[in-house]
Amino acid sequence: MPFKNVTNTVGGTQPEIEPGTYTVEVIGIEEMEPGQYGERMRWVLGLTDEDGETIAWPDKSPYEWWQQTGTTLGPRSTARKYADALLGRELRDGEDGDDILEELIGRTARALIEIGESGYPRIAAMTPIKKRKAKAAEDSQAEADVF
C-alpha cells in the first residue's frame, strides 16, 4: 500500500493563525533545499497569542509554525531582521553565522502576522521584547530626572 499524500494536520484540524500580534519563540532553524532565489532556511517557531495562550493542535500539543528566509544576514535581508529582533540588538559585521544560529534557539520576539498575497499567514514585522528589568530601570531613571 503506498503512502497517502503528506499533510501537516492532526485529526484534520490545523490551528488557524489569525492576523495580529504574537510572541514567537525559535524552536529551531533548519537548512532547506535551495529554491528559486537560492539557499533557504526554515525557521520553526512556536506561537503565543496576545492573551498568553499557546497556539496548539486539538490534542493541546504546541503547534510548530514555519517561515522561510534566505541564508544571508545582510542589512536588508529578512533573516537579519528576524535575528536582530530576536537577539534584541543589531548584528555586528564579522559575527559568526553558526554562533548566531545557536544564540537564536529559544529566543522570543513580538511578531505582527498578516495574511499574505498567497493567502497564508506571514510575518510582516518583528520587534524585540523589552526586558522588564530594563523597563524598570528606565522608569526609575525617569523618576530621578523629575526630582
| pTM score | 0.78
Q: Which residues contact 140 (CB under 8 A, 6 or more apart)?
A: none
Residue 85 burial (10 A CB sphere; 0-12, 13-18, 19+): buried
Q: What does the domain layout of the chain look like in residue ranges?
A: 20-146
pLDDT tens sequence across 36-82? 888 999 999 999 999 999 999 888 888 999 999 999 999 999 999 99
Q: In what order do the strands lie in the sheet with 40-48?
A: 64-70, 40-48, 20-31, 108-115, 121-127
The answer to whether 32 and 71 have CB atoms below 8 angstroms apart is no
Q: CA dihedral in degrees (24, 122, 82, 99; nearest 10)? A: 80
pLDDT above 80 (res 142): no
pLDDT tens sequence across 12-33? 567 889 999 999 999 999 999 9
